[in-house]
Amino acid sequence: MNGFASTARLVVVGGMTSYRALFNWTTPSMYIGTLFASPLFQLLFFVYVGRGLGVAGDEFLIVGNAVLSCSVAGIFGGTMAIANERRYGTLGTVLLSPRSRAAIFLGRGLPYVLNGALVSVTMLGAAALLLGWRTPVDRLPALVLTTLVGAIACTAFGLTLGSVGLRLRDIWLVTNITSALMLLLTGVIVPSGELPALLRGIGSVLPLTHSVAAARHITDGDGFGAAGPDLLIEVGIAVAYTLIAVVLLRVFETEARRRAVLDAM
């Protein structure tokens, strides 16, 4: 088997297997409850608050919350994909593998990307069913693509946090806080323009901020061309977090071997 095919197999087969091994929410109740029910209630909550207080239209809150809903699978899943190795005591066995760390760990992100995009699309469908949200059918492919890019960026961010989790035992605290901050900083509920410059700056380097902006262009009927620049920035953010994750994995593994700072076994 040639090198490319072998690496592709590790990415796909290894990624899917590790998803079942390391993702905490694979039981039906946890999976549906955490990934679907919780974001759905959040979406309903904000839409009804928006209606009640008259602070935002349905579409603004539906699109924002639907795009945000991919973050649970992406960020928590991405973190679990790496940090849970410590929890299960399997890190030593994985680190003894002679294969590329990027292929091993980044491949693990694939199922979470698909999962996150599925959740976002489901939320849009639920909004159509339960809240009467409508958008022209020809805008749907671009909208789905936007959620996919957002899910990729979230997963890359989750993998970065997971890499930090190899060193930081309490990484879940960081993940929880970051996840909550995204509600405020990414423009899903509060328009980015309303935020102070510092918070807007932080939001601009977080995943989803630009996906949400792109999704709004699409649903507003501005066309895919108008959403393009934001999507490209989101792709750039995904690439940046992926690179950070790879660098951190390399640094922490080297440090672990040099200073014995990682309880790898």
Partner 1 sequence: MYAIEADNLHRTYRTSSGWIRRTRRTITAVDGVSFQVPPGELFGLLGPNGAGKTTTIKILNTLLLPTGGTARIHGLDVTRHTAEVRRRIGYVFGGDRGLYDRLSALDNLRYFAELYEVDPRVQRRRIEELLELVGLTGRQKERVEGYSRGMKQRLHIARGLLHDPDVIFLDEPTLGVDPVAARDLRAMIAELVRSGRTVLLTTHYMFEAEELCDRIGVITSGRMRALGTPGELKRHAQDRVVVEAEVYGVDEEQLDALRAERGVRGVTVDQRGMLQVIVVQCDIDGDAEPERFRSFVRQSLAHLKLGRVEVREPTLEDAYVGIVTGQEAAAPETTAVLS
Q: Which residues contact partner 1 (rule: CB under 8 A)?
A: 1, 6, 9-10, 13-14, 17-18, 20-22, 26, 88-90, 92-99, 104, 256-260, 264-265
Please, which residue, 26 or 176, has the CB nearer to partner 1?
26
Closest CA to 207 of 150, 158, 161, 162: 150
Sign of the four-CA dihedral 195, 197, 199, 204: positive
CB of 95 to partner 1, least distance (A): 7
Residue recorded with tokens 């593994």: 253
Say how many CA atoms lie within 13 Å of 61 toward its Cβ: 22
Question: What b/e string do you get for 23-35 counting C-beta neighbours within 10 Å, with b at 16 or more?
Answer: bebeeeeebeebb
Please, which residue, 96 or 197, has the CB nearer to partner 1?
96
Counting every residue written for the chain, the total comes to 265
CB of 31 to partner 1, least distance (A): 13
CB of 96 to partner 1, least distance (A): 6
Please, which residue, 98 or 225, has the CB nearer to partner 1?
98
Please, which residue, 53 or 96, has the CB nearer to partner 1?
96
CB of 112 to partner 1, least distance (A): 16
Please, which residue, 14 or 50, has the CB nearer to partner 1?
14
List Cα–Cα distances, 2 to 12, 13, 17, 238, in angstroms.
Answer: 16, 16, 22, 28
Give the ranges where the chain is alpha helix by DSSP (H): 3-9, 15-22, 28-30, 38-53, 58-68, 70-71, 77-88, 91-95, 101-107, 109-131, 140-165, 171-185, 197-204, 209-219, 224-259
CB of 104 to partner 1, least distance (A): 7
Please, which residue, 10 or 144, has the CB nearer to partner 1?
10
CB of 237 to partner 1, least distance (A): 29
Q: Which two tokens stand for residue 249?
A: 């994995």
